Amino acid sequence: MPPLDPQVHAARKAKRETQNINITLYIASLFMVAAAALFVVSSLPVSARLVGVWLGTAVFYGAGLVLHAATPRLRPAALAFVGTALAIVPFAGLATYNLGFPNAPAVWLLTSLVGTAAYVVAAVRLGSRLVVYLSLAFLISTAWSSGAVLGAALSWYFTALIVIAAVLSLAGRVLGNRIASQSPVLGLFAKPLSDLGPWFAPVGLVSSLAFPLGLNAADHAMVLLAGTLFYGVMGWVDPPRLRRANYLGLRLSLTIAAPFVGWLMGESLAFAAGAITLTLAVQTLIVACFHSRIGKWLGRAVWPVGDVFLSLPLAAGLSLLWSAGIAFSGHDGGAWVWSPALPLLVVLLAAMAAVPAMLPRGEWLPLPALGAAVLSSGWLAAQDWAMVLAAALIYSVARFLSSKERRIRGVMLVAARIVLTGLATSLLAAYLPAQSGKAEVIIAVVVVMAAGQLFADTLLGMFGRPNKVTAASGTSWAVLGTVLIVAQAVAFRATDQGAWEPTVPVAATAFLIAVLALGAAACAHSWVFLPRGQRYAGAEIMAPAFLAVAGICAGVVFGASGTVVGAASLTLFLAVTGWRLRAQPEPTHRWIYWWCARGASLLLAMAVFALWREHMPVDVSAEVSLWLVVLFVLGGQLLILAGSMWRGNTVAGFSFDVCATVAATLLLATFQMIANPDGHWTQTLVVALVVAALGLVGCAYALRSPAPGVAQWAAPLAMTAIAGMALQHRQSFEIAAALVAVTAGVCAVRGLRHRSRSAYFLLARIASTALIAVLVTDITGSPTIQTLVLSGVLIAQLGVQWLAGSPAARRIVGESLVWKASLWLLLLAQVMAPIAYVIAAGGLDRQGSGLRWVVALELLLLAASAILAQSTLGQRGASYLAILTVAGGAAIMAPVLPPGITTLVLILISVAVNLWGCLFRVQRAEMRWYGPAAAAAFLFAALLVDGAAPAGTLAIMWLAAGLAFIAAAHLQRLPWLTLPGALMVLVAAVLVRVQILELGHLEGIAALSAFGVAVGSLYLVRMLLWELASVVPVQRWSLVGVALVSGAGFSLLAMADHKAILGGALAFTAVAALACVETPGHRRPNAVDLAVVATALIWFIASSAYVDGGMFWLVEWCALALGALAVRRHIYRLPQECKALLVAAGSVASFGALLTMFGGDTLQQAVSLLLFVALLVAGLSIDERLFTIWGAIGVSASVLWYWRGFTFVLLAVLALLLIGLAIWRLNRKPPHNGDDGGSPSVKPAPATTAATPVAPGPPK
């Protein structure tokens, strides 16, 4: 790197010195202003404060001007003096008002005049344009204070601000154009006036609008008209770059002034909204007509165009308010002029008139006005709508005839048809005489017109060229007619309930005519546009959708007979349309219609049932329900699906069809059986039909479908579920179970796939077993006989399972996964058998009629089956059920044994099992968990069945289980079991504490005993497994972590007892020492530090039981401890750690100092001060600036707080010292080019920015 040029180096050094001097003067000025503010509110005499603040201001101001003119070397200090004086002027004015002169307006005016004169003189003498900018605030304050002295209203303040803006702007233009070139002083004022002058007008306008309660309508109108005049003049005078701002100001001021002028004329919402609407509409129309000229004048052609497109929607919204004001006011007098449609027509006509000038983008300008008409429909009468729609119709026809674009002509034709329909409706509503059924007739006429429009669109598409407009128009008319038919049905429903009885025949006739007309048009539309190829058309949905809605509405009007006719029409149309598509090579389109026809047939069945219920007596119809009828129809549809599957006549969505139909059947069967739990013969018949149909579907899939799929299992699962739900009615269940067994047997013998045959074989076994159980229940009511027979059947099934596992049977029904699943299901059934017996018998011995030997026999059979399943049948893990038999035996024997005996027996068995696992290690993977599983199972069994056992006995159980888990973790190489085992030991320790508390000992002794159990047991295991520390770390840290955490917890719990607090502290110290020993070497220093701090805190708490302490002293002890740790690191040359600990110590000491500020005696304050001194000394010792500054700030803040009654004196002295230092350094600087009277080599920044003066306002 080349050496730096000496001149450049000197220049940089001079620049740095100048910046440091300026920063010093800046801080000194802030301190002096703060000292002046505090001096004003001090407790000195009033006269001394008043004279002192003005005298100090004058001295600083005069000294600054004199120094600036006399000594160029000290100009930075002079600028600091002047800036300080100017910043104190507002505070001097406030002091004058608060201390001696209560006339606020006069003091405000005097302060403003003094400040204005001072700023102007300073600007001229210093030649600073920044001071000129700041003086404008005092100029505005002078104008406002003059109004305050005269007692003017609030509106005059804003008007005066606008007038000042105009005067300043014009003055800036004049000075800038003519005088600035001749006088540098006047040129100094030219740019600030021209820059800031235009901004005062919008500030005044916005401020006036921010005080709506302080100004009336006349005040607002005066201020806004003044703003309008200002922007009009400025738009003519200002240069082109400001024309757009003046244009916006003119438009906004004139528009916002309109409602206030309107309010002055009528004092109502209608007049205010009408004035702003008319003003905005006229302005928009003028801008639209002359938008080219206005765009050239503004320099942006897009501005007037955007203005039109924004103003017309705003005018439409305002017309909505105007219309509402007219509608809800009492000043219409019955004259048409005050119709609520007048505001809408005004904006609509203005938009229509603006369209030719704004083409082609202005084609849709009338839409916001039409939207406002729609929103105001709540208060518009039929005559009003007729006028609005007539204007819209004229516009649509005119644009259709005058436009040359085909798209626009098509849209306008559609709009004209829509508007014509609405106009006809409005005219009928307005001029048709009031009579019963008038509304129904109007709706029917509109529906017939919609049907005619739909038929016209159909003919246009049939004989002309179909297009998107024709299709959308036809759909819209169909939707409109459908909605009106629904509305007519709802109105008829209200009429039928007694609202207007004489109109019911008229409404029914009108409804029938409307439905027939629109139905014929919709069917013709769908029939004409039905595609013949492999395509789909949206028009084909119209007729089915309308027929579905019409059927529902016909049911509302004509009852069940109407619904039957509608559903029949829908079903017939769908079926005939599907038949019409029979020649298509791709069957999906045809199947969609047939699927819909099947759905419609369900609706038809419901309607026929409703019609049948209306004409049949209650006692006859009670045996047949709606769900039963629909279920019967679904059964028939399942037979159709089975036949289609058998013949191979399927489609891509056939499987989904089967699944959906089966799901619907299952859902309806569930509802039916829940609603009728007893069941009539009709329900039994329908259930049998449905199960048979499901069986046929399953057979069709099993015997005809070689490919596996989801649908092949839907039918078997559904018929199994229905058979299970039929258990509440045994006859139905027996029939269903027999059908399931027969179906499953056939599929097991003749099925195409090995797995499906095996699954059906399993289903047949389950169904036959359930059927035998139900038959035995019908024969005898004894639960003992029933469970013994069931146990025998399950043993026989075990033999069948053994036969199915033979090589010959495996090739037919012995698929591996299904065979294993069947064996587990068999064992699960044996597990559930004793539980079901106890529930059926209502308990054992005294509680019910159950016999304990029966349960014991079933448990023995379960144990034998489990052992046989694992040893003979090769079922891995079946012997785990033996653990369940032991737990079950404990459950049945616990009630007859004393509390705790069952738990002791389970402890012995658990210990024996785990000792066997330790002595004879099992190599098979499934037996690795046997010991932990037995321990966990026996533990939960003891907790559940022997909950009254003593806490000590349960503690032994938890301890044995935990040690079993830890041993299994070591022997079976399952290290993650160590943590659960350690937690179990912790629970045992908690139970030991509970037991000792029950014996009457103190809390401290109980906690220390628990400490010994937890820490002693876990550390004993830790010592036995010491060699595993480097091999399996998870075991070590599981034991150590639980031991340390539990030890810390129990030691703290012991400290809650006053008599054992020292023992608890000693235990905690031992835990901390163990933690330091267990921590790895690279982290041990941190652990030692944490242990030292924690132990110190614990012993402080322990000693507080004998010596009175407090928060402050705790904080100080912590600070000393952290400091000691920092000293240790400094001795061992660890600078970074030392610094971090010193930061922590300083933070704690600072918190202690804050505590002394809110309440502390002299000793605490002295200690806090000494700690900061120590921090300062430490920073000096280790040469760290952070701690030196921290300690210095702490000492300074403490001294200031303790001597806080004389803060302003300290600030003033500090400011004077800084100013003296800056002057001394300025005198030491060499003069520029050897000239003592020259300016400094680097020009300093003006110090007047040190404290920005505040314009005086009305004193408070």
Which residues are CB-contacts of 1152 (< 8 A; sequence separation ≥ 6)?
1112, 1115, 1116, 1119, 1168, 1171
Which comes out higher in pLDDT, residue 1051 or 786?
Answer: 1051
Provide the residue count of the chain. Answer: 1260
Are residues 631 and 573 part of one domain?
Answer: no
Residue 461, domain member (yes or no): yes
Least confident of 613-622, 705-714, 723-732: 613-622
Instruction: Report the pLDDT value the prediction gives residue 586, as an integer from 0 to 100.
Output: 75
Is a pLDDT exceeding 80 seen at residue 87?
A: no
Note the Cα 405 to chain centre separation in Å.
49
Which comes out higher in pLDDT, residue 106 or 951?
Answer: 951
CB atoms within 10 A of CB 549: 18
Integer Cα distance of 335 and 339 in angstroms: 7
For residue range 354-395, what is the model confidence (pLDDT) as tens digits?
887 777 777 778 888 888 888 888 788 778 888 888 888 888
Integer Cα distance of 921 and 1255 in angstroms: 94
- Asked whether 253 and 228 are in contact (CB, 8 A), the reply is yes
Is a pLDDT exceeding 70 seen at residue 820?
A: yes
Is a pLDDT exceeding 70 seen at residue 6?
A: yes
The arithmetic mean of pLDDT across residues 325-331, rounded, is 70
**Cα angle 99-100-101, degrees, rounded to a multiple of 5:** 120
The residue out of 751, 779, 807 marking a domain boundary is 779
1144 token code pair: 């922590």
CA distances from 925 to 816, 864, 877, 921, 967 (A): 20, 22, 9, 11, 17
Residues facing 709 on adjacent strands: none
For residue range 978-987, what is the model confidence (pLDDT) as tens digits?
888 888 888 8
Are residues 759 and 627 part of one domain?
Answer: yes
Are residues 887 and 862 part of one domain?
Answer: no
B/e letters for 505-533, b = 16+ CB within 10 Å, e = fewer, are: ebbbebbebbbebbbebbbbbbbebbeee
Are residues 754 and 805 part of one domain?
Answer: no
Are residues 311 and 171 part of one domain?
Answer: no
Which comes out higher in pLDDT, residue 923 or 859?
Answer: 859
The residue out of 946, 962, 996 marking a domain boundary is 946
Highest mean pLDDT among 25-34, 451-460, 488-497, 580-589: 451-460
CB atoms within 10 A of CB 97: 20
B/e letters for 269-298, b = 16+ CB within 10 Å, e = fewer, are: bbbbbbbbbbbbbebbbebbbebeebbebb
Helix 754-779 × helix 816-841 angle, to 10°? 20
Integer Cα distance of 121 and 85 in angstroms: 13
Integer Cα distance of 469 and 1166 in angstroms: 92
- Asked whether 1100 and 1069 are in contact (CB, 8 A), the reply is no
The arithmetic mean of pLDDT across residues 811-837, rounded, is 74
The arithmetic mean of pLDDT across residues 452-479, rounded, is 78
Instruction: Report the pLDDT value the prediction gives residue 191, as an integer from 0 to 100.
Output: 57
Is a pLDDT exceeding 70 seen at residue 846?
A: no
How does residue 1258 score in pLDDT terms, banded at 50, 70 and 90? very low
Instruction: Report the pLDDT value the prediction gives residue 1260, as an integer from 0 to 100.
Output: 33
Instruction: Report the pLDDT value the prediction gives residue 701, as an integer from 0 to 100.
Output: 76
CA distances from 1145 to 628, 1037, 1096, 1120 (A): 84, 32, 15, 7
874 token code pair: 């090769």
Are residues 110 and 182 part of one domain?
Answer: no
For residue range 153-188, what is the model confidence (pLDDT) as tens digits?
455 666 666 666 666 665 555 555 555 455 555 545
The arithmetic mean of pLDDT across residues 412-435, rounded, is 79
CA nearest neighbour of 766 among 724, 814, 812: 724
- Asked whether 430 and 421 are in contact (CB, 8 A), the reply is no
In the block, tokens 């001795």 appear at 1131
Instruction: Report the pLDDT value the prediction gives residue 611, as an integer from 0 to 100.
Output: 82
Complete DSSP assignment for 452-506: HHHHHHHHHHHHS---HHHHHHHHHHHHHHHHHHHHHHHHHHHHHTTSSGGGHHH
As a dihedral over the C-alpha atoms of residue 1182, residue 1183, residue 1187, residue 1189, rounded to 10 degrees, the angle is 160
Query: Looking at this protein, which amino acid is placed at residue 621?
Result: S
The residue out of 837, 854, 878 marking a domain boundary is 878
Are residues 480 and 368 part of one domain?
Answer: no
Residue 953, domain member (yes or no): no
* Rg (the chain; Cα; Å): 50
Instruction: Report the pLDDT value the prediction gives residue 466, as an integer from 0 to 100.
Output: 62
Helix 588-615 × helix 626-647 angle, to 10°? 150
- Asked whether 748 and 764 are in contact (CB, 8 A), the reply is yes
The arithmetic mean of pLDDT across residues 1193-1202, rounded, is 66
Are residues 133 and 18 part of one domain?
Answer: yes
Instruction: Report the pLDDT value the prediction gives residue 476, as an integer from 0 to 100.
Output: 85
Integer Cα distance of 455 and 271 in angstroms: 48
Residue 474, domain member (yes or no): yes
The arithmetic mean of pLDDT across residues 1109-1136, rounded, is 76
On the 0-12 / 13-18 / 19+ scale of CB atoms within 10 A, 366 is: buried
For residue range 295-322, what is the model confidence (pLDDT) as tens digits?
777 777 787 888 888 888 888 888 888 8
Instruction: Report the pLDDT value the prediction gives residue 932, as an integer from 0 to 100.
Output: 83
Integer Cα distance of 960 and 894 in angstroms: 20
Is a pLDDT exceeding 70 seen at residue 235?
A: no
Integer Cα distance of 757 and 1077 in angstroms: 67
For residue range 878-889, what is the model confidence (pLDDT) as tens digits?
667 777 777 777
343 token code pair: 């505001």
Instruction: Report the pLDDT value the prediction gives residue 999, as an integer from 0 to 100.
Output: 80
Three-state secondary structure string covering 756-768: HHHHHHHHHHHHH
Integer Cα distance of 108 and 116 in angstroms: 12
Residue 257, domain member (yes or no): no
355 token code pair: 């369209």
Is a pLDDT exceeding 80 seen at residue 940?
A: yes
Instruction: Report the pLDDT value the prediction gives residue 1244, as an integer from 0 to 100.
Output: 37
Which residues are CB-contacts of 952 (< 8 A; sequence separation ≥ 6)?
991, 992, 995
Instruction: Report the pLDDT value the prediction gives residue 41, as an integer from 0 to 100.
Output: 60
Integer Cα distance of 703 and 691 in angstroms: 18
Which residues are CB-contacts of 755 (< 8 A; sequence separation ≥ 6)?
708, 815, 817, 818
Residue 495, domain member (yes or no): yes
- Asked whether 1014 and 989 are in contact (CB, 8 A), the reply is yes
Which residues are CB-contacts of 933 (< 8 A; sequence separation ≥ 6)?
880, 883
Which comes out higher in pLDDT, residue 129 or 791?
Answer: 791
The arithmetic mean of pLDDT across residues 1191-1206, rounded, is 64
Which comes out higher in pLDDT, residue 1047 or 406?
Answer: 1047
Which comes out higher in pLDDT, residue 62 or 670?
Answer: 670
- Asked whether 101 and 76 are in contact (CB, 8 A), the reply is no
Is a pLDDT exceeding 70 seen at residue 650?
A: yes
What does pLDDT average to over the chain? 74
CA nearest neighbour of 1096 among 1074, 1117, 1082: 1117
Instruction: Report the pLDDT value the prediction gives residue 1257, as an integer from 0 to 100.
Output: 40
For residue range 871-924, what is the model confidence (pLDDT) as tens digits?
667 666 666 777 777 777 777 776 767 777 877 888 888 887 777 777 666 556
862 token code pair: 């379960």
Helix 104-126 × helix 75-99 angle, to 10°? 170
Residue 924, domain member (yes or no): yes
Least confident of 333-342, 855-864, 971-980: 333-342
Residues facing 844 on adjacent strands: 850
Integer Cα distance of 892 and 844 in angstroms: 8
Residue 958, domain member (yes or no): no
Note the Cα 551 to chain centre separation in Å.
43
Are residues 505 and 427 part of one domain?
Answer: no
Are residues 222 and 89 part of one domain?
Answer: no
- Number of domains the chain is built from: 8
CA nearest neighbour of 886 among 846, 928, 956, 945: 945
CA nearest neighbour of 635 among 677, 596, 679, 601: 601
Is a pLDDT exceeding 50 seen at residue 1259?
A: no
Is a pLDDT exceeding 60 seen at residue 1238?
A: no
Element at 254 (helix H, strand E): helix 243-266
In the block, tokens 């340390």 appear at 1044
Integer Cα distance of 715 and 742 in angstroms: 14
Which percentage of the chain shows pLDDT scores above 90? 0
Integer Cα distance of 616 and 628 in angstroms: 17
Is a pLDDT exceeding 60 seen at residue 1249?
A: no
Integer Cα distance of 855 and 838 in angstroms: 8
Question: Could you tell me the residue range of the domain that residue 119 belongs to?
Answer: 13-151+1229-1260
Instruction: Report the pLDDT value the prediction gives residue 146, as an integer from 0 to 100.
Output: 61
Is a pLDDT exceeding 70 seen at residue 9?
A: no
Is a pLDDT exceeding 60 seen at residue 1236?
A: no
Is a pLDDT exceeding 70 seen at residue 23?
A: no
Are residues 165 and 91 part of one domain?
Answer: no
How does residue 729 score in pLDDT terms, banded at 50, 70 and 90? confident
Are residues 852 and 718 part of one domain?
Answer: no
Residue 273, domain member (yes or no): yes
